[in-house]
Amino acid sequence: SMGIPLYYIDMDSREIINKLWSNLSFRKKISILLSSFLSLFVSRKRIEREIKNFEKDGEKTIKKFEKEMPELKRILIDERNEYMANKLRDILNENNKVVAIVGEGHIVGLKSLLNDFEIKIIHLSQLL
């Protein structure tokens, strides 16, 4: 209603899942399925603690993720960062002000890929 254009800059989720599944070994697939199942039994306090740790030092968490599952990190974070950065670059070349809402795990990578633009980061926790 305000005449402000809206752009979806992330990859299609089906494309991401298909890419993940086709790039993972059988052993990794079993490991992920088992981890997903076991995560159903993780306490709420542990989940809240993990979220706080991520908010405090997201880069450390991503580095740990990369060490444990490099192919997942490459597809879920790195490739999507490149895709979103290319989309944002096109949008930024046409508009002088852009608001992009992305997951916390993408902020550092996107900022690095778009270092030729002036970027101001506002975390969701700052708005609450």
**Cα–Cα–Cα angle for 32, 38, 42, nearest 5°?**
125
pLDDT, tens digit (0-9, with 9 covering 90-100), for 80-103: 999 999 999 999 999 888 999 999
Q: Does residue 1 lie in a domain region?
A: no
Residue 80 belongs to domain spanning: 13-127
Q: Does residue 94 lie in a domain region?
A: yes
Q: Does residue 2 lie in a domain region?
A: no
- Residues of the chain with pLDDT below 70 are none
| Alpha carbon distance 43, 63 (integer Å) | 24
Q: Does residue 29 lie in a domain region?
A: yes
Domain count, the chain: 1
Q: Does residue 3 lie in a domain region?
A: no
Q: Does residue 8 lie in a domain region?
A: no
Q: Does residue 32 lie in a domain region?
A: yes
Question: In one letter, which amino acid is 28?
Answer: K
